[in-house]
Each structure stands twice: as C-alpha cells, then as structure tokens.
C-alpha cells in the first residue's frame, strides 16, 4: 500500500483502492451473500412474506437431491467439463512447449497476438460462430464433403459434442497461459542435461518438463474446469435437444420458474460440489494449492 | 575407458558470423584439456559441437575415430557438466545422479547402489536422499560430477562449472576435479576464461581468440613461450613495449624502441624489420639503483606499491610516462623501494619475447 502511494500519489491510490473495494464488495460479496440467504428461504407469495411460513430451511437444497434428472445433468456437466479440460490440456501442452522453448522469442510474440485476437470478440459471438460452422449446411461439412473425407454432412450439433467443441475453443487460452509460463520458467539447460544423459524426448518431457510444469498444468486445469462447469452462453448456444448443462437448470429456476431461492441453492451446490471435485482430483494427483498459487 | 576427441577443420557459422574458424586439434585419451579464452571467443560453441547440441558448418567431430555427424546428444559417449550445473531440483540427489541409468532401464536397486558408490567417489556421504536445494554450492558441484560420471562417459565436457563458487572453494575443487579425472581416467575437456584454472588443472591448454585456436601446448609452454601477443597478454601479466626488430642472431633479436634498445628472444612469425612488441612478465623484472645500468634497462620512478601478501607489485613510470609493473617476493629483510625513488627496471634477455601484436583473427584465413 505504501509502495502504491509512493508511486501514484495519495489521491490516485485511494481511488484505485476504493474502486477495487467497490467491485469486490458491491458486485461480488454482497450479491453472493444475498443469494446465499435466498437459498435458505422459501419462494412464497408476497402476502406470506414475514408470516409463519417464512423460515430458514434446507428444503431448496433437498429439491436437487430429490431430483434424479438434475443429479444426472450435474454429473454430465462434471463429466463433459472434465473432458473439455483434458482435451484442452492435450492440445495446449505441446503448443505451450513449442512457444516457450522451440520458437524464437520474436516469433512467440506474433503467435500470442494471433492467439489473443479472437478473445477480443465476445463469447456469445464466438459461440454463435461455432453454431454456424457446425451447422448441417455450414462450412465445416462443406469442406469435409468437398475434399471427399465424408460422403454426407455430419450432424455436429447433437449430444454434447458441439458443446464440448465450443467450450474447448472458448477456454483453451486459460490452459495455455499458465502452462506456457511454467515451461518458460524452466531452465533450458535442464532439458539439455536430460538429453545429454541419454534421455529420449518423451522421457525428458515425462521426468523433467512435466514435473516442473505441474503447478501450471494444475492451475490451467482448475481454471478451465471451473469456467466450463459455470458456463452458460456456450451450452445454451451450441446445445442440441438432448444436451443440458447444469447452469441451464439454474437459469430455468431463476428466469422461467422465477424461483430465485431454489436457483441460488442450485448455484451454491454447483460451486460447492465443483470445489469438492477439484480438491479430490488434486489430492489424487498430489498437487497442493500453494503450488498452484505460485 | 576413455577416447580421443579429434576436431577436424571445424567451422561454425551463425548467419554471417563465424563463431569457430578452422579449429584443428586432437585431444588425447585420458587427457585433461582446457579451452581457454575470453567470453565470445567460441569456446562454449566448441563444447556444444562436441556434445552434439550443434552440428558444425564445416569439418567433423570425431570421438574415438568415429564421426559424430548426425548423432544426437543422447547417443554420444560424452557427458556435459553445465555452467549452472542444471541439476534436477525436483529429484532427490540419488535420482539426479542415476538419471542417466534410469533412462537406460537400470533397475532401482542397482541404481541406488551405484549412486552410493559415486557419492563415495566424489566425497559426499549420507546425501543420497537430500533435496538439491539442501546442498551447498560445492556439494551441488560434486553431485553434478557424479551425475555425469554415472553414465560412464568416454569424454567429460565441463563448461566453466567452478565459476559460481567462491575463491577458496574454487581452488579446492580444482584439485578435486583433477584428482577425480586421474582416478577415472576419463578424457576431460574443460572450458574456462580463468587462466589460473586452466594452467593449474590441465595437461594441455588451447588458447582461443575470435573463434581461432591460437596455441595448443602445456601450461608451462603457454606461459613461457606464447606464440603471439594475444596469448602472452591473456595468460598472465606483461609489460609491453612497442618497437622494431633490427637484427636477428641465433633466436635472439635486437629491438629498437623509443625507450631504448633491447635484446630479447624472437617469437614465432616475427622477422627482421617487423614492427612488433616486447613482452616481459612482471616477475622477470627487477629494480636496480640508477648507476648499476646494463642491458635491457629502463630508467623509472616508483609510483605505487601494492602489497599482495606473498609478493609485492611495484608500479613504476618511465620517462615517456608509461606505467610498468615489477613483481618482487615479499621479504621483510629487503623492503621494496619507496614511492618517488628513481631507479632502473631491468630484465634478462632470455626472459622476454618479441611477438606479433595481434591474435590470428577470425577472418585471417
């Protein structure tokens, strides 16, 4: 804080601190606390508010556990979010390695610019672009039939595959940057030492580079997983008739059912269960939270 | 156990820049050979060419008579010790040491035993299970040596591994490295910019400048009979006087300068009539009283005394204003002359040399 004042002067520092505090309190903490309170109250007609039925209860939470369809959607959301995370990891690791250690630094800057430009377009537009690309008469099918790889157009927007494709595209950079940073921080001599001692490329990655990049991989995975599980725009835009995302159920409770109480209970359940899932996976893979924070 | 390394007419270009120019040298099996030179002279490039991280633009690297062209670093019989050691921080000491065996599929029990054996060899006991971050600089050094020895290399390559250590430890590790080399009989190729290291440890030294190998010889030969001005001034201190060779007879020459006429040994590639420089080491100079003048003497005035412990550096200025250094043994019974004393700086014709001024350059060929 003293450093901040020294650098920007007292008035600018106060403005910055106040804006950060406003953002945190008014836009994050208070709305969440309000929703948290909502989640323990019942959705009542106006004339019963404050009456004998207006009590704190866990009933909203039990709504979820008593609904097999919603539990099923929850597990599918976790499953496909994990799948998106793994696909992102498989695509990004080699890319991050090439960007960090193979390309010249001057070329890396160009690559990052090319990777970042799509991020300037809003998520809705990007999802909708995929909707067009993947549609029956869209460019992807046109290209694939054109070069003779397939005979007739594939129905891409079916099941969860279009959602998975859209989510991978939407969040892949959140995987790339932490892994890139981790690999970049690795001393190139370590890679060469491994090779010099006789290790194959594969072995060098497995024993030297991946262990070093593990915190970056973990933080990328956590970020992508949480963003996927909480994403609304991509699943609604690219969903087919037989794919539902857990966030869509929350949205239905809130905006179609107008039951903010059950909706917020579902939202907190999603948050809590995702944190539980992530902690379990981290425990299994022997990654600690402090490693990720680095 | 060890193999010779033959660098055959090696050139290495980076774009239009020639980092290594036409280096030709054979390093004998079991030899401790140092490449000595200032930074940017191409010595690290040579090491990377031998280890296989680079392929020469021209010429060939041969190890044990076998051309190494196209053989990747992981398949060469060499082990490299990096300047920053490049130990694997996430593995315990013993896994670091036996990493080379692990990749060759050696079982864990054998590896563990081998690690203990190598730790004994490098004098590092009870450290097998320590983390790298728990070790001191000197201990890390030993682990790096053990890790390289574990793969039983025919040739060991060392890239200034002692430069990060403090002076005392560095001197200790010099002796240690030398002893390990003698014990194992492996060919050592050592890269350094520290002439003290190169002279103290090596069987032979190759002095490099601007990508060109200037001289390959024993440390004594390099110091006492440098082939040119670069080698003379890079290895050890010198007093330098410019002039012209006027007369040559039996390896000795008459040298005319603005400071007078001198007799000196004639170095390689200098002939009668050439402009050249006279090099004389401070320890071969001495100071006499003014009326004792004889051959090879310059009248000077003492300007400064620097006491170094076992010897004393006496700085003197001649009549042209040039400063020279005279090194005398520390002897309390014969104190060095006080500042402002006028005297003669003298040196023996046998202990000074006339050499061409410059190094053989990058584009000389």
Report residue A236 CA to chain centroid gap.
Answer: 15
Nearest to B239 by CA among B262, B219, B207: B262
Please give the model's pTM, rounded to 2 decimal places.
0.81
Q: Where are the domains of chain A?
A: 1-32, 69-292
B103 with A199: Cβ contact below 8 A: yes
pLDDT one-digit tens code per residue, B48-88: 999 999 999 999 999 998 999 999 998 999 999 998 999 99
Percent pLDDT > 90 in chain B is: 61
Percent pLDDT > 90 in chain A is: 41
Residue with tokens 């979820």: A64
Residues of A in contact with B100 (CB under 8 A): 197-199
Interface test with A, best of B51, B53, B88 (most A CBs within 10 A): B88
Cα of B95 to nearest chain A Cα, Å? 11
Interface test with A, best of B82, B96, B106, B158 (most A CBs within 10 A): B82
Residue B4 has pLDDT above 60, yes or no: yes
Mean pLDDT of B256-279: 88
Nearest by CB to A189, from B78, B84, B100: name it: B84
Average pLDDT, chain B: 90
SS (H, E, C) chain B: CCCCEEEEEEEEEECCEEEEEEEEEEECCCCEEEEECCCCCCHHHHHHHHHCCCCCCEEEEEECCEECCCCCHHHCCEEEECCCCCCCCCCEHHHHHCHHHHCCCCCHHHHHHHHHHHHHHCCCCCCCCCEHHHCCHHHHHHHHHHHHHHCCCCEEEEECCCCCCCHHHHHHHHHHHHHHHHHHCCEEEEEECCHHHHHHHCCEEEEEECCEEEEEECHHHHHHCCCCHHHHHHCCCCEEEEEEEEEEECCEEEEEECCEEEEEEECCCCCCCCEEEEEECHHHEEEECHHHCCCCEEEEEEEEEEECCCEEEEEEEECCCCEEEEEEECCCCCCCCCCCCEEEEEECHHHEEEECCCCCCCCCC
Given a contact cutoff of 8 angstroms between Cβ atoms, the answer to whether B274 and B245 are in contact is yes
Residue B292 has pLDDT above 70, yes or no: no
pLDDT one-digit tens code per residue, B185-214: 999 999 999 998 999 999 999 999 999 999
pLDDT computed for residue B78 by the predictor? 93
Residue B27 has pLDDT above 80, yes or no: yes
pLDDT category at B293 given cuts 50, 70, 90 is: low
Q: Give the CATH architecture of domain A69-292.
A: Orthogonal Bundle (1.10)
Residues of A in contact with B91 (CB under 8 A): 207
Among A90-99, A151-160, B17-26, which stretch is predicted with the lowest mean pLDDT?
A151-160
Taking only residues 148 to 207 of chain A, the set having a beta carbon closer than 8 angstroms to any beta carbon of chain B reads: 187, 189-190, 192-200, 203, 207
Among A133-147, A164-178, A213-227, B29-43, which stretch is predicted with the lowest mean pLDDT?
A133-147
Nearest to B339 by CA among B306, B303, B312, B313: B303
pLDDT computed for residue B361 by the predictor? 64
Residues of B in contact with A217 (CB under 8 A): none
B80 with A193: Cβ contact below 8 A: yes
Cα of A222 to nearest chain B Cα, Å? 23
pLDDT computed for residue B365 by the predictor? 40
Residue A74 has pLDDT above 80, yes or no: yes
Residue A263 has pLDDT above 50, yes or no: yes
Residue B290 has pLDDT above 80, yes or no: no
Given a contact cutoff of 8 angstroms between Cβ atoms, the answer to whether A54 and A134 are in contact is no
Cα of B74 to nearest chain A Cα, Å? 4
pLDDT computed for residue B33 by the predictor? 96
B53 with A199: Cβ contact below 8 A: no
Q: Which two tokens stand for residue A60?
A: 């909203």
pLDDT one-digit tens code per residue, B339-348: 998 999 999 9
Residues of A in contact with B53 (CB under 8 A): 192, 195-196
pLDDT computed for residue A292 by the predictor? 64
Mean pLDDT of A160-175: 91
Average pLDDT, chain A: 88
Please name the residue of chain A whose CA is at the shortest distance from the CA of residue B88: A190
Interface test with A, best of B90, B101, B161 (most A CBs within 10 A): B90
CB pairs under 8 A between A and B: 59
Is some CB atom of chain B closer than 8 A to the CB atom of A122? no
pLDDT computed for residue A283 by the predictor? 86
Q: Determine how many CB atoms are found less than 10 A away from the CB of residue A25.
A: 12
Instruction: Give the DSSP per-residue string, chain A.
Output: -HHHHHHH-HHHHHHHHHHHHHIIIIIIIHHHHHHHHHTTS----GGGTTSTT----SHHHHHHHT-HHHHHHHHHHHHHHHHHHHHHHHHHHHHHHIIIIIS-HHHHHHHHHHHHGGGGS-HHHHHHHHHHHHSTTSHHHHHHHHTTS-SS----SSTTHHHHHHHHHHHHHHHHHHHHHHHHTS-HHHHHHHHHTT--HHHHIIIIIHHHHHHHHHHHHHHHHHHHHT--HHHHHH--TT---HHHHHHIIIIIS--HHHHHHHHHHHHHHHHHHHHHHHHHTT--HHHHH-
pLDDT computed for residue B364 by the predictor? 41
B86 with A197: Cβ contact below 8 A: no
Please name the residue of chain A whose CA is at the shortest distance from the CA of residue B89: A212
Contacts of B66 by beta carbon, 8 Å cutoff, 6+ apart: none
Given a contact cutoff of 8 angstroms between Cβ atoms, the answer to whether B215 and B207 are in contact is yes
Cα of B191 to nearest chain A Cα, Å? 16
Residues of A in contact with B86 (CB under 8 A): 187, 189-190, 192-193
Nearest by CB to A197, from B79, B83, B90: name it: B79
pLDDT computed for residue B363 by the predictor? 52
Mean pLDDT of A192-221: 93
Among A2-16, A91-105, B181-195, which stretch is predicted with the lowest mean pLDDT?
A2-16
pLDDT computed for residue B111 by the predictor? 94
Is some CB atom of chain B closer than 8 A to the CB atom of A211? yes
Residues of B in contact with A187 (CB under 8 A): 84, 86
Nearest to A169 by CA among A216, A224, A250: A224
Cα of B44 to nearest chain A Cα, Å? 13
Please name the residue of chain A whose CA is at the shortest distance from the CA of residue B78: A196
Nearest by CB to A198, from B84, B88, B103: name it: B103
Residue B176 has pLDDT above 80, yes or no: yes
Cα of B358 to nearest chain A Cα, Å? 35
Given a contact cutoff of 8 angstroms between Cβ atoms, the answer to whether B152 and B3 are in contact is no
A189 with B53: Cβ contact below 8 A: no
pLDDT category at B115 given cuts 50, 70, 90 is: very high
pLDDT computed for residue B362 by the predictor? 53
From residue B190, alpha-carbon distances to B83, B168, B205 in Å are 11, 20, 9
Mean pLDDT of A218-247: 88
Largest CA distance in chain A: 79
Residues of A in contact with B75 (CB under 8 A): 198
Cα of B347 to nearest chain A Cα, Å? 49
Among A16-30, A238-252, B80-94, B104-118, which stretch is predicted with the lowest mean pLDDT?
A238-252
């Amino acid at each position: 804080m003293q450093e901040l004042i020294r650098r920007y002067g007292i008035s600018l520092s106060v403005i910055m601190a106040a804006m950060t505090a406003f953002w945190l309190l008014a836009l994050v903490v208070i709305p969440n606390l309000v929703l948290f309170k909502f989640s323990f109250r019942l959705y009542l007609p106006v004339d019963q508010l404050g009456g004998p039925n207006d009590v704190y209860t866990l009933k909203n939470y039990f709504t979820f556990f008593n609904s097999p369809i919603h539990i099923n959607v929850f597990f599918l959301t976790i499953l496909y979010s994990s799948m998106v995370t793994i696909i992102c990891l498989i695509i990004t690791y080699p890319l991050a390695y090439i960007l960090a250690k193979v390309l010249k630094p001057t070329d890396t800057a160009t690559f990052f610019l090319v990777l970042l430009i799509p991020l300037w377009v809003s998520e809705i537009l990007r999802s909708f672009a995929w909707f067009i690309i993947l549609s029956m008469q869209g460019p992807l099918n046109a290209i694939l039939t054109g070069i003779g790889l397939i005979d007739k157009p594939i129905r891409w927007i079916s099941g969860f595959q279009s959602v998975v494709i859209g989510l991978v595209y939407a969040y892949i950079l959140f995987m790339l940057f932490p892994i890139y940073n981790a690999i970049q921080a690795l001393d190139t001599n370590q890679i060469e030492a491994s090779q010099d001692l006789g290790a194959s490329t594969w072995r060098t990655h497995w024993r030297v580079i991946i262990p070093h990049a593990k915190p970056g991989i973990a933080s990328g995975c956590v970020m992508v997983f949480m963003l996927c599980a909480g994403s609304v725009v991509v699943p609604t835009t690219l969903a087919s008739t037989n794919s539902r995302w857990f966030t869509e159920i929350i949205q239905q409770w809130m905006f179609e059912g107008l039951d903010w109480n059950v909706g917020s209970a579902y939202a907190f359940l999603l948050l809590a269960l995702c944190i539980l899932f992530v902690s379990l996976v981290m425990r299994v893979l022997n990654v600690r939270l402090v490693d990720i924070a680095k | 156990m060890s193999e010779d390394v033959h660098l055959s007419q090696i050139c290495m270009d980076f774009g239009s820049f020639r980092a290594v120019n036409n280096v030709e040298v054979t390093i004998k099996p079991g030899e401790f050979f140092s490449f000595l030179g200032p930074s940017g002279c191409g010595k690290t490039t040579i090491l990377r060419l031998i280890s296989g991280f680079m392929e020469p633009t021209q010429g060939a690297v041969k190890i044990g008579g076998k051309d190494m062209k196209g053989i990747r670093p992981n398949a060469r019989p060499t082990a490299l010790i990096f300047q920053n050691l490049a130990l694997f921080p996430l593995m315990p000491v013993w896994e670091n040491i036996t990493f080379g065996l692990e990749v060759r599929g050696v079982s864990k029990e054998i590896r563990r035993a081998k690690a203990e054996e190598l730790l004994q060899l490098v004098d590092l006991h009870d450290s097998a299970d320590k983390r790298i971050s728990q070790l001191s600089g000197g201990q890390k050094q030993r682990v790096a040596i053990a890790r390289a020895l574990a793969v039983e290399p025919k040739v060991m390559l060392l890239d200034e591994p002692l430069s990060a250590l403090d002076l005392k430890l560095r001197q200790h590790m010099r002796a240690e490295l030398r002893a390990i080399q003698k014990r194992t009989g492996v060919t050592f190729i050592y890269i350094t910019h520290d002439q003290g290291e190169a002279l103290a440890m090596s069987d032979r030294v190759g002095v490099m400048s601007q990508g060109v190998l200037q001289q390959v010889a024993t440390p004594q030969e390099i110091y006492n009979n440098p082939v040119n001005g670069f080698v003379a001034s890079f290895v050890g201190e010198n007093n330098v006087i410019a002039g012209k060779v006027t007369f040559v007879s039996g390896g000795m020459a008459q040298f005319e300068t603005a400071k007078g006429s001198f007799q000196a040994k004639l170095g390689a590639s200098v002939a009668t009539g050439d402009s050249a420089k006279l090099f004389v080491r401070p320890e071969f100079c001495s100071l006499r009283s003014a009326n004792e003048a004889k051959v090879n003497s310059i009248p000077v005035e003492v300007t400064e005394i620097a006491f170094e412990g076992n010897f004393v550096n006496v700085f003197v200025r001649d009549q042209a204003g040039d400063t020279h250094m005279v090194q005398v043994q520390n002897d309390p019974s014969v104190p060095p002359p006080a500042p402002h004393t006028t005297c003669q700086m003298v040196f023996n014709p046998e202990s000074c040399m006339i050499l061409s001024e410059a190094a053989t350059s990058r584009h000389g060929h």
